[in-house]
Every structure is written in C-alpha cells, then in structure tokens.
Amino acid sequence: MNQRTLLITLTGPDRPGVTSRLFTVLAGFPVTVADVEQVVIRSRLTLGVLVAYAGGPPTGTGGTLGGLWTAVEQVAADLDMDLEIATGTVSKEKKRRRGRLHVTVLGAPLTPAAMAGISGKIAASGANIDRIERLSSYPVTCIELAVSGADPVALRAELATEAALQHVDVAVQRSGLHRRAKRLIVMDVDSTLIQAEVIELLARHAGCLDEVARVTEEAMRGEIDFAESLTRRVALLEGLPEEIFEQVAKEVVYTPGARTLVRTLKRLDYRFAIVSGGFTQITDSLVNELGIDYSAANTLEVVDGRLTGRLVGEIVDRPGKARALKRFAAQAGIPISQTVAIGDGANDLDMIAAAGIGIAFNAKPIVRQAADTAVNVPYLDSILYLLGISREEVEAADAEDGVVTPHH
C-alpha cells in the first residue's frame, strides 16, 4: 500500500517555539508524522518534517490539504523563515535498509576535502547519510554521521583507507540500544593514560635509561617477547631504594583529557579499568586519584628497602591483559561485547582483539592495523565522541558539578 507524503522544510533564524508552532498547525489536518529531523548551525535552524496522508496530491489552495499548504506557508511568513514543500509517496511494504551505523570523523583540522572523501566513499558503497551532527568543535572537530544501507565490515575497510589519505580518524559502529548501555572501558597506562613509560622514569634514576628505552621500543614494536623484555629491563633497576616510587609518582603526567574521560564515564555509570605492563607501586596511586574500578599490573620485588631486579607474581603481558579484560567484565557483570579496549603497543593487541571495540590511541602501526578504529589526536577525551558523547554534554555536566572543563 502506498501513501502520499509531504516533506516540509523550514530554514531560518533559530528561536523558541518554531517546532511547536509547526506541529500545532499540522495537528489540525488528517496527517501522520513519518519522520522529523532538526539541526541548528550558528543559530540558524533547519527543521524537516515528513507527514503522510491518504488521497490525492495537495494541489492549489482549495480543499483540506490545500488548506494545510496555506497554513504552513503562513507559519513560515510569520517566523520569517524560508519554506520548501515537496510531495512524494512511500511504500509500507518497502524493505528496511540494511543496519544503521554511526560513522564518527575526527580531524584537527577537519577539512572539506576530508568530508568529501568520507562522504564519497559512503555514497560509493550504496549507503545513505541520514543525519549529520557535530559532537565537538575543539580541541578537535568531530562530526557524526548516521548512515543506513551499508555493510559495516566493508565500509570500515573503505573508510580506513580514505581516513589515512585525508589525515583524519574515522570510526564505524553499529547503531542500536547497546550503544547507550553500560560499558567497561579497559585502558593501557604507559603512553596512553599517562604520557611516559614508568620503567623509563625509574631507569633515569638508575642511570640506565638508554638501554631500557631501547628494549622497550623493541617490545612495543613486537620484535621481542614482552615477558622477556620486561625481565631484562627490571633487572637493570636492581639496587634502587623503594623511596623512588614516591618520587616517580610525582613525575607522572596524565595524557591531556585523561581526567575528563574518566570523570565523564564514571558519571555515566561506566566501569573503568587499567591494565599495565608497568608496576602496581605506581598504578595504585592512579587508581586512588581517579577512582578507577579495576586494575592489573606487575609488582616489583623489594627486599630490605631496595629493588631486587625481579618481579613478584604472574607477569601482566600481552595474554595477561586480555585475561584481565575478561576478568573485569565478569566482575562488573558486563558482556564482552560491551567492553572497549584502548592501547598503543603490541602488548595491547590481545585485549584489543578480545574487546567489543578496540581503539588504537596514538599507536604503533601494527596496533592501528589491528584495531577497530584509531585515534591519532593527542587528546584522550576524544574517545568520548566515539561513544556518542558530545563536548557540550561534557561541559554541561561539569558545570552542574562545579568542575572547570580544561580546554587543553
């Protein structure tokens, strides 16, 4: 069965009551609301309402639907807005388009060429952009596109290539209720949550920084086994006094946006965890300061007040991080499909693969290739936009709680 439709589009200065005024007029006519879209850019409103009705097309100014046309024209004139009305038909038997997706584009800056490239790839895939919304204008520009009719795996591959060409970050995620559900965020610590490698901070005090840094890089690139590299590096720390932990903790610098990310997700009842190839003597202070729910890290052995150059207990390595993610999910009562893993090095690959969404944050090439999406801007709270949380929402919540949101 086919129905007639009218697409009514009002464009003009935004002001209170525009939407109410239009729907009040429409309420007096035998139509049903099929779709509504509204966007405001720089105080200029575009409101589109698709209404459906039975019967012939509304021509002229006579008759019931002709009266609707005249009434809507009067609303536009009263509000000093531009009006466009288009007629058409819609089939109730029309099959639904393939699953809806969210395509998130991050750029610093975001250029017209980048948007042209991304939107072009979406169109070439046979998909349609149903809605576009800005989630952030600073310190990065983030645009989210609601897309229908695309295969997520194929589109993700196409957009990843285009994103690299245009120097932007792009994430493709399925739409649906699960996007609003409680999630578990599991994050690497060194060079992700914080800006340094803790073992290198310790090595500086031990006078062996160059050697430790070299072995660290080999491990991060996946050239040597992490457990072996950790054992070799820890051995170089033998003899350091345990008071060094307090000093190094003061040297730790959070990645820009780290506090905002954790604070916002905790406010939304997300669970937050850290997993680290570093050491509990440092990560425990991060847990306490940020209110993190779960953590796993290695522990340096201390005897008679000095480091022995050995570790205590099971090593948290690449497989260990994935096991920790699954353990934390079980403890939180959250399915693995609702977990998000964030990391930068080869040691994070297993947990990124195990999680529902794997995010490479300023990561090595091997990690960017393996992750579902990559974020290459230096602001950790940009990850909020991938979860559909806008900058305005963050700042509004901070203002309610008396927190000053940093502008990086």
Question: Which residues belong to the active site?
Answer: 188, 190
The amino acid that residue 238 corresponds to is E
> Quick one: which H or E segment has residue 299?
strand 294-303
The number of beta carbons lying within 10 Å of the beta carbon of residue 145 is 21
3-state secondary structure at position 149: coil
What is the rounded distance in angstroms from the CA atom of residue 93 to the CA atom of residue 83?
30
What does the alpha-carbon distance between residue 271 and residue 249 come to, in Å, rounded to a whole number?
24
Distance between CA 266 and CA 264 in Å, rounded? 5
DSSP secondary structure letter of residue 241? B
Smallest Cα–Cα separation from 158: which of 194, 183, 121, 199?
121
Do residues 277 and 230 lie in contact, with contact meaning Cβ atoms separated by under 8 Å? yes
CB 343 within 8 A of CB 277: no
Type of residue numbered 401:
D
- Tell me the C-alpha distance between 377 and 154, whole Å: 25
Do residues 223 and 253 lie in contact, with contact meaning Cβ atoms separated by under 8 Å?
Answer: no
Cβ neighbours of 389 (radius 10 Å): 19
